[in-house]
A and B are shown apart, each in its own frame.
Chain A
Amino acid sequence: MTTAPNSKNGGRARIEARFAKLRDEGRAALVTYIMSGDPDLETSAKIIAGLPAAGADIIELGMAFTDPMADGPSIQVAGLRALDAGITLKKTLAMVADFRQHDMETPIVLMGYYNPIHAMGVPEFLAAASASGIDGLIIVDLPPEEDAELCLPALEAGLSFIRLATPTTDEKRLPAVMANTSGFVYYVSYAGITGAGSADADTVAAAVARIQEHTDLPIAVGFGIRTPEQAKGIASVADGVVVGTAFIDVLRDSLDAAGKATATTVDAVLDLSRDLAAGVASANRRAAP
């Protein structure tokens, strides 16, 4: 087997190193979701560059898609803003390559839908993603039933394939869902679309315990976490806290009437990241069982 460019320091290894470091520090990861290219490429690049210093432990980069079936209005509109501003998958990969000039530690995970990758071609995409310093993929419309499409080739290329587990993923299904998952598991806190619900720490704690029976991977929880207080609550019961819609919303609120970035846009996002990081850091982590 040839060694994929990412397999030593990047890809899955970079995600594992990050969670190992956090385990030593005794805290959960703050995983920040922003839409690549929203509201424009330049602003988006500045936000990504600033996130690690603003407390983001892992960056999830949304790949815009015209038909985001699992997303609520905020992320739908963010994707359209990015598309209007000219984002493409290739430009997203180039932006990550630029980021990697200055940061070799912060994992970057692409999140989105399969079709833009399908259109580029899986081998071409994986080669380009590895070369750009992408570490993992979260693809909403690729369940384990379709692992041969992208999951297995991605693992082969040294990238993590991070699976979503949901409240509807029952005991019978969990082993299949965990089988080819790597990096971390993303637990979706409620059945629904992004931005529509609220994560309840007690319910989440029970779900995390249930998933832990099937995996040794870190478990990050997303959907319905907006505030530092909520982040603190989830950080005490899970290994990672994913925040998305709240970032998109503060970004949107910072735009001018024409939907363009203003002087406050980058800071609005980074300020929220700092507040959330403080919330995560203040969590009392329940001792591992």
Chain B
Amino acid sequence: MSKPNSYRTGPDAGGRFGIHGGRFAAETLMPLILELEDAYRAAQADPSFREELDYYLAQYAGRPSPLYFAERLTEHFGGAKIYFKRDELNHTGSHKINNCLGQILLARRMGKTRIIAETGAGQHGVASATVSALFGLPCTVYMGEVDVERQQPNVFRMKLLGSEVVPVSSGSRTLKDALNEAIRDWVTNVADTFYIIGTVAGPHPYPELVRDFQSVIGDEAKEQILKAEGRLPDTLVACIGGGSNAMGLFHPFLDDDGVEIIGVEAAGDGIETGRHAASITGGRPGVLHGNRTYLLQDEDGQITEAHSISAGLDYPGIGPEHAWLNDVGRVKYDSATDADALAAFQMCSKLEGIIPALEPSHALAHVAKIAPDLPKDHIIVMNMCGRGDKDIFTVAEMLGVKI
């Protein structure tokens, strides 16, 4: 495949990134999906939309988030210089708020009066519940029963924020099933309801607009690293569930040739065991949840269950733009196991005083793998996209500690 002039021009008019993406949605939703695209184009052309979003990002979410030099981890690994983009310091504790603020402002422009969302780890659910509270809209969050169980603090948080949390008992009872149920709600209440999708997936224009709302991460990181180091980083690393925090960091750097970019999928018990959530490493292209992308599926096209210690990565697909970036070779996709992530989680807590979420612990596990062998002037920027308070029960259980 020849190298495109720019990696940042997608999607095309049909919502495609190469063969991926598209609008594989039920007819009931199509008029609304087209209306959403129109509304988004109008918002993009309206400076007051950006102004309003920037206001809330700064004053409500606390942006910009710092770019922090993780000195003790750098010392510990003895190789590359490690920076964390600290999106875990945002209001609500993860990058999810960036996207939720953007989407709820769109929902208001479209005159929608009710919000729905899906959630895995609960971070997107909490962020959706938060912006719904902020703008006084009722919000229903769909969450798999397994995730309700392992992310209790976030369930309670959503309820405190005034949202209804609906446990989903179908299928694997995790993120994919929460998405199914949210889509079913959306089909039923299409007239008044806005669906805030939590990652760079779904029918066009969702992957594009979520990417755009998350790109604030990479835009800031670029400015910050130039200020700190006077040059661009050598390597970017981020974890991938659906891929929104990763896309947010990566996208502004895609055309910077010298920057190596690595997405880290969840390898669960190990790719070879079949119990994982690494859709690029272990899946093949298929169509689910409105887009074509790499999916974990059997020979007959039935979706297989993903497995990860991290509820936020426990999804059998990946955003279509990542699928394309893999195909054209611009981004490398690797994976980290539950055990690797757990070790990174503990190391970061002890060495940096930062308890990371289990999701970015996967990214850190990859950093731990590559940093020691890299020269001391090699700069890595890793997206610390969430904090780990929500995960302490899961981790305690894994470590055999009762709390």
Contact = CB atoms under 8 A, between A and B. Distances in A.
Interface of A: 64-70, 72-73, 76, 83, 88-90, 113-120, 140-143, 145-146, 163-170, 173, 177, 188, 191-193, 196
A29 B25 CA distance: 28
B186 to A, nearest CB: 9
B24 A114 contact: yes
B307 to A, nearest CB: 15
Nearest to A70: B26
Contacts, number: 118
B27 A192 contact: no
Most chain A C-beta atoms within 10 Å of own C-beta, residue among B23, B30, B32, B170: B30
B184 interface: yes
Nearest to A77: B170
A192 B302 contact: no
A248 to B, nearest CB: 15
Given A69-B183, A69-B289, A193-B184, A146 B22 contact: yes
A145 B31 CA distance: 11
Most chain B C-beta atoms within 10 Å of own C-beta, residue among A141, A163, A170: A141
Contacts of A66: 171, 302-303
A39 B29 CA distance: 31
A88 to B, nearest CB: 5
Given A69-B26, A165-B27, A166-B28, 12 more contacts: A65-B301, A70-B183, A76-B170, A115-B287, A118-B285, A140-B26, A141-B24, A143-B24, A145-B22, A146-B23, A168-B32, A192-B28
A119 B296 CA distance: 12
Nearest to A64: B302
A166 B27 contact: yes
B26 A141 contact: yes
B18 to A, nearest CB: 15
A191 B14 contact: no
B282 interface: no
Given A67-B180, A69-B183, A119 B300 contact: yes
Nearest to A90: B300
A113 B300 CA distance: 12
Contact of B297 (A88, A115, A145): A115
B14 A145 contact: yes
Nearest to A91: B300
A116 B188 contact: no
Contacts of B299: 119
A65 B302 CA distance: 6
Most chain B C-beta atoms within 10 Å of own C-beta, residue among A69, A119, A177, A192: A69
B188 A69 contact: no
A76 B302 CA distance: 13
B153 interface: no
B342 interface: no
